[in-house]
Structure 1
């Protein structure tokens, strides 16, 4: 499996038979997110949308006429099993920013968990649904999502094998990656262009992988 970060909360996950894109976005004009990701050049079979905000729901930008997954529930598409888990965009049970969906994706004998714009640490029922995650894609930017310290707490709740931070490149989040790395005890930040992983190459202990944004 190959995982590429396209910026914000958007990833391209390429399995043996299926390509999946999470939270396709259209950056606001003048934002520091960079240019519109070239999603039209990606033919995906599946697109997941964690919540219906402009930075996460640009499904028309993805090529290949994909199947769109929105909201909680169980989905099986091209031998990929996806479970949408209800959560909130803020710690006030959605009163500020609304609802959010966590996606647990079973593909190629791996379990990928995309937390979307999670705004709180996990409740017991949510933790049960995501407890088997091998690779965790989680926001660390604070402000409208969990901050670096909360992200570290979520990691300790789930105990995944690989952690990939996201949602930290906007103007309001400068320096957040460094703060998150300090929370995780990482002294040197060495971004890599993509994550290639198989069940046999999973680390025995939790490892943080910093990806370069491909916009």
Structure 2
């Protein structure tokens, strides 16, 4: 079964809107685990507009499932990850002013940089995953930099799924087949939802993990957090 990691960035956004600690981010993370999530994802950004760096430190010793810290591997991110030692570090090439992640790595152009960062993280026992577009050249490049996993950037899939789902999934299937052949494990994330998740999971052989935040938290407004997590888990069975 593909594992579900719940991204709690949006919980932090709600908290930050009023200050204080409501909702309590740590409690929500623990509740997500209690409700069945097999991992917790956070993506701290330099402006700390949702997850704060201190949040990551507070969550460090509380998470009992897999803790996944996403981010652009600049100095502050790397310092945080090396202090925290999560189960997984997901490297994302997002610009500081990006509203959300919007592209994968050019694993050829940034080969030397990624090799160096990944080597340092893996030396501390941290599993590495890098955000990539469903492009076979980028997957080949990912294998060459030594990452353990790739995370397929699924926004284009989600955008095209309502139009023609077979065409939307095609490049992802090709990328996944090659990734497995090259010995890479596969994660996926960005705009996956109750509408499109089941088909993606069925079509991508060997999918290890999905990281879902925005859609899941939106659904929780209607269905409740516990029920929503169970609904997502059912799509992954």
TM-score by length of structure 1 reads 0.42
> Which structure has more helix as a fraction of its residues?
2
